[in-house]
Structure 1
Amino acid sequence: MAQRPIVRISREPARLNRIKGQRARFPKAISWGEQAKRHDAKFDEIEDGVARILNGADLSTSPDEVTPDRALVFEIIGPLSNVAKFVAAARRAGFEWLGEDFDDDSNDEEEEEEADEPSPDSGQSMLYVTMPTIRGLQKVLSLWKQYSTNQAKPGADDGEWWPLFGYLSDVRTWSAKDRVDPTLSRYVDRMMRKFPDRPIRLELDLWFRSDPSLRAAAREYVVGLMSLVGGTVLDFVTIPEILYQAALVELPNEQALRLGSFQGPLSTADRIMRVRPQSLYSSEAEDAAFSVLDHHEPQSAPDTRHPVVALLDGYPVENHSLLRNRLRVSEVDVHAVDVPVSRRRHGTAMASLIVHGDLGDDTVPIDRILQVVPILGAPQNLAEECTPQDRLPLGLVYRAVMTLVEGSNGVEPVAENVVVINHSICDREAPFGQRATYWAKLLDHLSHRFRLLFIVSAGNNSEPFAVDAYADCNALETADPVQRQIALLDALNRSRGSRIMLSPAETLNGLTVGAVHGDSSAGTPAGLVDPFDTISGVTNLASSVGLGLNRAVKPDFVELGGRQLIRSEDDSSFVSAWAIEHPDVGQLTAAPGVGVSQNLVRRSTGTSNAAALTTRTATRLVDVLENLFAESNERWLEAKTRAVVLKALLAHGCTWGGAGDILYQLYAGGALRKKEAISSVLGFGRPDHSRIFTALGSRVTLLADDIISPDSLHEYRIPIPRAMVNNREVRRVVVTLAWSSPIDPITRRYRGVRLEVVDGDGKRDFWKGVKRTLSPDGRAARRGTLQHLVFEGKNLVRPGSLGDIFLGVQAMAEMTPFAAAEVPYGLAVTLEMGQPVRTDLFTDVEARVRAKRVDITQRVPTRVRT
């Protein structure tokens, strides 16, 4: 039997959390006297408003007054010692808690070798939003009077108001400027130029109310509002699990234009939290112009196993010779009649990449059936595929996933064994803006609840960017290729602010994938310029950049996404350039034909392709994990850790490689700033999946998985191979920890539980025989749900150092409600020698892990899988 590349290990007994994070330094609270001077007038205005309400005043003509349906905002400049206690106190006072926002780096710990400059995100402002009742307003006014006149601190029920008053910088009502999205005006102008005769479609995010009767009344409220402005409600979706309630509406142009100046009934509609552009994904219209080629594939026999991978995308050509007997399509919102076969481009391409990879690479197809739920249509009035224009995308995704794994309306789930979901679509109107979008919240909730792994594309950006290194286009096109590559990488870095990844790429629990410049095509079409080589591993021109939530590493990693060529034009003082696709360049995939022709292929590029190739690798890893778990009479599909183990292995082979070296030399600033910039482009790097699929005597990978709760530490001891000691050979240790966290959808802290991988002293110095390589800044790497560390070294290690590498996985609750949460994690560790060795590392480590099982049988059984 062929040697397997992975050994499965178990942890030693749990211990209490050892490591303590450094808390952020906040300003001191302001004295009661100074606060009274600053804010008495504001509370007086609120009190006057309450009096007018009680006296029966008609507030419809005074929209600035505080009313029971209006959100009240407390802005503070420091921390509350216990947010959960304040929430409880606010609710006792008659307030409904609606949300919280803040800037906080209190989870960050400086790493000694990287503390060369301050963290770029050290703000401490916080925002708390509530929906008061009249009784609640009266209560807070009474408490403010006690505080501002230095009366005795109230009892336990109300004591949490005193810290808020001490840090208060402003109290105000939620206004039109809060409510109207800052991008709305540009969106309205663009839609009116594109479709001058059509009404404007917008989304209304409503304040989510805990009372079901208030949520039920919200729809009637929106219907009445649309009747007032001559609009129409197209769709209305409520998803209580993520506190989401929204409407898709159609608005007359004149009403949409008024929103740009914060005017009109929508701008002052108290029950609406935000008015923003319609969430919509659309494929590139240029796809229609691509040439196609014949490709003949022998018909395959259907696979009898249940699908474990699903594709949420366009409707594929099921009868294509490359896809016949390989897909199972389940219709929910989008039906075959909605998408002519000749326009089924995106879903067909993604299915082809998952099943076959880049056809130009001549790889072996995946045998497993691919489950597909189409969520893209092809409207006759548009040239591209898109999410249905009269539906909210979140509703489409929610219904699709529930149909897959839980069923709906009394119908059994259509693919309850699905674990991996390819999500190569995004919101083209919503670049990530520091706060989690509802779309990302939905993916994070579903992934944690149903043990799913969403593989998400970072999004593409083909907007022009300035290249001021060249005087004109001719200079750019005739430049030395190496110098041109450096100039373009520098220009892309300086334009990062306009190339932000598209939501839901900020997903916390999912894997987000960017696109590397490379594919199976060769040469460059005459008259065009290939901007980059395919050796260095840099991303293509349109691949969007991060970072993610709370400046976490995003994208998680990058994968091949096709070569994109460059087009430019002369501007007044610089060259303007952008990415283009060409029929002769890109990754080769199945393509829809016309009539009976169902054997055509075409080339395409983008982060969608990169995500699909990652999903293909995940499908292959499923077979590895199923066999590995089966050796211990376990079923991987039933494991609570199934998704996070897969997530850890997908990222385990990542390194920045040559691309990281190039960008580190190119980017300005200190080490932290350079690493952050590189992380926003490459994430943890590009994975070398052969390290997982291929067994070598000079390498051994160990895999652990478990469930952990906050304030506990799981210990693992990894035997140091004898071959790594008493020599100066290059040795490498790679550690990848992946987990799934519950979320709090109304706070910017968002992540419920943080995990860390630590050594015996609570640090990250696992073994003196190796040290950290060039990789993401340690603080950013600890802000998501994936940590990936690569260590290398060749210092002489004496035989006395032979023993174990201690690895601890510890959990910490980010917020009190998650103190008892159960969090699944996967831990992958690879020990590797740079050169072949006479002693087989795999055999050595496997034998010593087995021996350890005997030593600790009385404490924690150790499972070993070889």
Structure 2
Amino acid sequence: MLDDLPADDPAMARLYLTMPTENGMRQLLAMWRRFETKLAPREDEKDWWKIFGYLSKIRVWNATDRIEPATQLFIDRRMARDAAGPVRLELDLWFHEDESVRMKAKESLEGILAAIGGRIVDFVTIEPIRYQVALIEVPAQQAVDLRSRTGALANADQVMSIRPQSLYSAAPLSEPIESEQNSAQGPVQELRPAVAAILDGYPMQNHALLAGRVDVVEVDITGDSVPVERRFHGTAIASLVLHGDLANGEDPLTRRLKVVPVLAAPQHLNDERTREDLLPLGVIYRAVVALKEDDGLFGPSGPDVLIINHSLCDAEGPFVRRPTPWAKLLDWLSEKYGILFVVSAGNITGQFPSGYSDHASFNSAAPLERQIALLRAVEASKGMRSILSPAEAMTALSVGAVHADGAGDCPSEAMDPFSAVGVTNIGSAIGPGINRALKPDIVEAGGRQVANASNQPAGHHIWPSEIGHIGLKAAAPDPFTGSSSKTRRSTGTSNAAALVTRAGVRIIDALEEVLAEDGTALRDFSRASLATRTLLVHGASWGDAGTLLEAAYPPPGLGQWRRRRGIITKFLGYGRPSYDQVIEGASNRVTLLADDEIRHEQLHEYRVPIPTSMVRSREIRRITMTLSWMPPMHPTSIAYRGVTLDVVDQAGQRKFWRGVKTIMQPHPDDMRRGTCAHFILEGNNSTAFVDSNGLFIGVQARALNAHFHQSSVPYALAVTLEVAPTVQEDIYASVRNAIRPRPRVRA
């Protein structure tokens, strides 16, 4: 491996190259040494000398690459907590296709660890994502050596990287649990099979809101290891999926919910967390396999599951540059089993500058002025607010948290930072994702967080906090009286992801009804998860929040709109969806859904007949298009995605049609980098924008790696036509009677 620039210079970048043979690497290093001594190149070396002119250093992979600054800081924190105690870390071995070579590498690692008094705690290999990782434990002194990048382990050639132990923990509110009893007493009718599952904490199964509604699948976490009075997170997420925010009084889902517990509750701690003796990726992998594969005795435990709520993240793993193994795992599982992961973007709880000189000026500021200042402060701290792994997963639907809930007014003694509707709360992590792909995909209500503030040596700082009076209301255990009907309020991206999962189940129910009309069973619809993802995004928009942030965020000026749009996208993604507009029909609105598979350099042509009322009309008309696809992934390629898709006009561009234009939304360049594209076009002039054959919508494919030229990529396309309610024509009926869209395929 080669490294071209100093690792300690943030303005510089690294370039990693793999040499096919050791001899080739030696020749390259020999050429570099001659270049450094300013020797003239030979005739066949002149091109190399040109490349070398851009580089400051070439070296083999070493301890500097294996142990990044984040790992050093992790060791510092562990040593500060217990200077004499052992430290656990995750160690990535270089992956080899040959299993015998992999086993030898493991044996060699065991030898090194034995010599320094360490041990392997857990070891997992997942071949499709080239994952061979050991959870190791080393004595304190050896951890100090790793911190300084010295010692046998830091310089072991078979080791690719040494990372912080992946951890996720969820602690209950410090506020007392609400005394309110909930009257819901479980299902009142026979529930249909589950199409959704959650990977989370162990739920309180006998809670009045969950009793008879959840099916627990035990894999790595058993009920006897999680006391009932500490089952907060899984109980809340299950409640939010089944019932939504209880303050809104929504009807419960009519389906059961699968729950695979993946969080433990260690006795010596006061929270729920990933098991300290298991690699989280192994736990997640085994959980999904248990849902979808036959165990040889009872069959898969969740054969109909299409959507999996993953309100977990790696608190020690903010996304930086390259996709993490956790994200690669979700992308591979999505493709293998045809499921949609709904993933929380992550919560950022650290302090950041408020933009005020001191606490007095912060408190005395006018509410509107302070709101604008805080919005800018959150934006200014974006460098410390990256989404947490695995939220960068390309095929997952990553969800940020909006500052909203169904609770009443915020108590006067607490600082509610935003009165604005639709902005993200101050703890919600932001994008972008892999190769600057649009992340989070959407945002949803995550509960209102209050702002704590104080004067710090480095200036006035704020940080997010929860109080028991506001937030999303959900079922909760009662550690004091053992009641089975208590509730509590909480906030965060975990809650937002749960509400999106709930909406996904509603969309799946609607899809099942439509399929039944055609005589097709939901289980036979192989692209159901893609259709669900497409329709979840389809109703999203920035709305008033986009207008507010456009005015509040830098850089100012008309010529800087592109940069401002990019900043807003990092926070809002495609925006907050309106699911009812997708699920429920209306006479002035019709939504069409198509799905198919496409290959490199193919174009699928769709023609949609346009109702008379949309042609040469001065009434508002809106066209919304959403395309999602499931590309094959190349886990070691810099492009990562194997194939990209695009929505295009007849000329293969995105100029689309006269008479409509895009509203405030992400820039097309931000959309192109992911696996979902979403456009809203609107207009009210009378210019014709269709030809006699109907509205042209093209889906075009392009392979990003020659290995995938022959790959078939499944996709789902949703198109909504909408006119103002004042228009008399029933466009739903007009289009329904005129079309059953099938693509025309051409190169």
TM-score by length of 1: 0.80
Q: CA deviation at 1:397?
A: 0.5
> CA, structure 1 residues 195+599, in 2 after alignment: closer, same or farther (shift >3 Å)?
farther
Please state whether the residue corresponding to 2:260 is helix, strand or coil. Answer: strand
1:66-465 alignment runs, 5 A limit: 72-73=1-2, 126-130=15-19, 132-133=21-22, 149-150=42-43, 167=51, 169=55, 171-284=58-171, 286=173, 290-301=177-188, 303=190, 305-408=192-295, 412-465=299-352
Q: CA separation in 2, counterparts of 1:165 and 1:579?
A: 53
Q: Name 1:665's counterpart in structure 2.
A: 551
Q: Name 2:8's counterpart in structure 1.
A: none
Q: Output one character per residue of 1:342-386: Cα deviation in whole Å (capped at 9) or x when no partner.
A: 000000000000000000100000011101100000011111100
1:786 maps to 2:691: no
Q: CA separation in 2, counterparts of 1:219 and 1:732?
A: 59
Q: CA deviation at 1:638?
A: 2.3
Q: Name 1:62's counterpart in structure 2.
A: none
Q: CA deviation at 1:647?
A: 0.6
1:579-728 alignment runs, 5 A limit: 579-594=464-479, 596-669=482-555, 670-728=560-618
Q: CA separation in 2, counterparts of 1:510 and 1:573?
A: 38
Letter paired with 1:73: L
Q: Point out where structure 1 has 5 or more consecutive residues left out of the alignment.
A: 1-71, 77-120, 154-161, 861-866
> CA, structure 1 residues 798+420, in 2 after alignment: closer, same or farther (shift >3 Å)?
closer
Letter paired with 1:462: T
The structure 1 residue matched to 2:437, chosen from 529, 552, 560, is: 552
Please state whether the residue corresponding to 1:651 is helix, strand or coil. Answer: helix
Q: Output one character per residue of 1:606-639: Cα deviation in whole Å (capped at 9) or x when no partner.
A: 0000000000000111111111122222223222
Q: Name 2:389's counterpart in structure 1.
A: 503
Letter paired with 2:546: G
Q: CA separation in 1, counterparts of 2:203 and 2:678?
A: 35
Letter paired with 2:683: G
Which of 627-636 and 514-523 deviates more?
627-636
8 Å contact 1:288–1:383 — kept in the other structure? no
Q: CA separation in 2, counterparts of 1:596 and 1:665?
A: 50
> CA, structure 1 residues 476+849, in 2 after alignment: closer, same or farther (shift >3 Å)?
same
The structure 1 residue matched to 2:361, chosen from 438, 461, 475, is: 475
Letter paired with 2:372: I
Q: CA separation in 2, counterparts of 1:591 and 1:260?
A: 41
Q: Name 1:32's counterpart in structure 2.
A: none
Q: CA separation in 2, counterparts of 1:817 and 1:131?
A: 18
Please state whether the residue corresponding to 1:241 is helix, strand or coil. Answer: helix
Q: CA separation in 1, counterparts of 2:464 and 2:698?
A: 45
Question: Which structure has more RCO (C-alpha within 8 Å, separation ≥ 6)?
Answer: 1
Please state whether the residue corresponding to 1:747 is helix, strand or coil. Answer: coil
> CA, structure 1 residues 124+637, in 2 after alignment: closer, same or farther (shift >3 Å)?
farther
Q: Name 1:828's counterpart in structure 2.
A: 718
Q: Name 1:815's counterpart in structure 2.
A: 705
1:40-59 alignment runs, 5 A limit: none
Q: CA separation in 1, counterparts of 2:707 and 2:20?
A: 21
> CA, structure 1 residues 407+75, in 2 after alignment: closer, same or farther (shift >3 Å)?
farther
Letter paired with 1:630: A
Please state whether the residue corresponding to 1:233 is helix, strand or coil. Answer: strand
Letter paired with 1:379: P
Q: CA separation in 2, counterparts of 1:650 and 1:412?
A: 30
Q: CA separation in 1, counterparts of 2:704 and 2:366?
A: 51
8 Å contact 1:312–1:422 — kept in the other structure? yes
Aligned residues: 726
Q: Name 1:490's counterpart in structure 2.
A: 376
8 Å contact 2:194–2:305 — kept in the other structure? yes
Q: CA separation in 2, counterparts of 1:163 and 1:633?
A: 64
Letter paired with 2:159: I
Q: Output one character per residue of 1:165-199: Cα deviation in whole Å (capped at 9) or x when no partner.
A: 86454542101111102112221121222344531
Q: CA separation in 1, counterparts of 2:126 and 2:100?
A: 15
Q: CA separation in 2, counterparts of 1:354 and 1:282?
A: 20
Which of 163-172 and 558-567 deviates more?
163-172
> CA, structure 1 residues 288+821, in 2 after alignment: closer, same or farther (shift >3 Å)?
farther
Q: CA separation in 2, counterparts of 1:506 and 1:435?
A: 9
Letter paired with 2:684: K
1:730 maps to 2:620: yes
> CA, structure 1 residues 841+221, in 2 after alignment: closer, same or farther (shift >3 Å)?
same
8 Å contact 1:684–1:776 — kept in the other structure? yes
Q: Output one character per residue of 1:664-697: Cα deviation in whole Å (capped at 9) or x when no partner.
A: 1122231221111001000011101111122111
Q: Output one character per residue of 1:74-104: Cα deviation in whole Å (capped at 9) or x when no partner.
A: 759xxxxxxxxxxxxxxxxxxxxxxxxxxxx
Q: Output one character per residue of 1:413-443: Cα deviation in whole Å (capped at 9) or x when no partner.
A: 2112211000000000011102100000000
Please state whether the residue corresponding to 1:779 is helix, strand or coil. Answer: helix
Task: Pick the structure with greater CA Rg.
Answer: 1
Q: Name 1:95's counterpart in structure 2.
A: none
The structure 2 residue matched to 1:755, chosen from 631, 634, 645, is: 645
> CA, structure 1 residues 634+531, in 2 after alignment: closer, same or farther (shift >3 Å)?
same
Q: CA separation in 1, counterparts of 2:683 and 2:273?
A: 50
The structure 2 residue matched to 1:764, chosen from 654, 658, 678, is: 654
Q: CA separation in 1, counterparts of 2:584 and 2:48?
A: 57
Identity %: 43
8 Å contact 1:563–1:605 — kept in the other structure? yes
> CA, structure 1 residues 712+287, in 2 after alignment: closer, same or farther (shift >3 Å)?
farther
Which of 590-599 and 762-771 deviates more?
590-599
Q: CA separation in 2, counterparts of 1:276 and 1:285?
A: 28
Q: CA separation in 2, counterparts of 1:750 and 1:244?
A: 15
Q: Output one character per residue of 1:222-260: Cα deviation in whole Å (capped at 9) or x when no partner.
A: 211211221121101100010000111111122112222
Which of 378-387 and 210-219 deviates more?
210-219
Root-mean-square deviation over aligned CA pairs = 2.5
Q: CA separation in 1, counterparts of 2:523 and 2:629?
A: 17
Letter paired with 1:837: V
Q: CA separation in 2, counterparts of 1:453 and 1:390?
A: 28
1:566 maps to 2:451: yes
8 Å contact 2:95–2:130 — kept in the other structure? yes
Please state whether the residue corresponding to 2:701 is helix, strand or coil. Answer: strand
Q: CA separation in 1, counterparts of 2:16 and 2:29?
A: 19
8 Å contact 1:467–1:487 — kept in the other structure? yes
8 Å contact 2:318–2:388 — kept in the other structure? yes
Q: CA deviation at 1:163?
A: 7.5
Q: Output one character per residue of 1:463-504: Cα deviation in whole Å (capped at 9) or x when no partner.
A: 111012x33223323422211110000000000001111010
Q: CA deviation at 1:127?
A: 2.5
TM-score by length of 2: 0.93
